[in-house]
Amino acid sequence: MTDRNALAKDLRAVSLAAITFARSLCLAGAVACVGAATALAAEPRSDATIKNKNVEASVLLDDKIKADAALAADCLAEGKKWIDKNAADAEASRKQDPVMFRNGAWTFERKYTVRSVVDGRYVSIVRDEYMDTGGAHPNSDVDTILWDTAAKKRISIRPFFTETADNGPTMTAMRKAVTASLNIEKKKRDTSETATAEWYKGLEPKLLKIGAVTLAPSTEAGKSSGLTFHYPPYAVGPYAEGEYVAFVPWETLKPYLTPEGANVFGGARPKGDDDGQQ
């Protein structure tokens, strides 16, 4: 009788252990499913995409851009033209040399991100691009957009300065400040050996040659603390150095500001704005 009772206890213990193990597996499975769903939800959805045997291309707009219908339409139209062109180029390249696609389809991604909104009117956008066409390494590029929400169109920084003539006083001062900022950043990265005229020869004192520009955010609400210039790899240094951002404080350009420029600029660059080279 004693052996029979002991056996019954052992069987109950085994059953309880099995039930506990099964419940643990179910809980773990549920947690994994929730985690996977959360991860998928966190991934931004493309606003335009093309996917075929030749190319995987996408365009993404951040939520701040999507909140402005005119701005979103402008960026999306441009982005769609970009992925259409890359898809056509990839198709032509496959026909000419299929070996170029031995590692699979080419990849293109363009992201539009709001950097700052100044005076409730001027929106600075950074346009980042990633491209992998099967070469030695992927490539990236960066450009910028300055959007006037009142006029509902793209503008330049010209209205903020009394003159922006090629090689004129404003552009000359701007270029000098840009190179000084780049030299400081290169010193931080311990890459001062490339802070040379040879690497900076592409930076000309011309509005269309000095670099892609944005209005930097400020510690003063509604103002910009100055200009930030965005450079992709190879622009002002070797590929290994990556992207650079040069900052020019508004005080440096104060002598050249129009009344509108004086209204737009003020305050200081927020702490941490240069972290990760914004």
Residues in the chain: 278
Domains of the chain: total: 3
Do 76 and 29 belong together in one domain? no
CA 185 – CA 219 distance, rounded (Å) = 22
- Among residues 25, 85, 22, which one has the least CA distance to residue 54? 85
pTM summary value:
0.83
CA 87 – CA 50 distance, rounded (Å) = 8
Do 215 and 239 belong together in one domain? yes
- Structural domain span for residue 115: 48-155
Do 90 and 128 belong together in one domain? yes
Do 52 and 151 belong together in one domain? yes
Residue 272: inside a domain, yes or no?
Answer: no
Domain boundary among 155, 180, 195: 155
CATH number, domain containing residue 200: 3.90.640
CATH number, domain containing residue 59: 3.30.565.40
Q: What is the dihedral of CA 151, 153, 159, 163, to 10 degrees?
A: -150
Do 257 and 174 belong together in one domain? yes
| pLDDT tens, residue order, the chain (278 aa) | 445 555 445 545 545 454 454 455 444 444 444 454 444 445 678 999 999 999 999 999 999 999 999 999 999 999 999 999 999 999 999 999 999 999 899 999 999 999 999 999 999 999 999 999 988 889 999 999 999 999 999 999 999 999 999 999 999 999 999 999 999 999 999 999 999 999 999 999 999 999 999 999 999 999 999 999 999 999 999 999 999 999 999 999 999 999 999 999 999 999 999 755 54
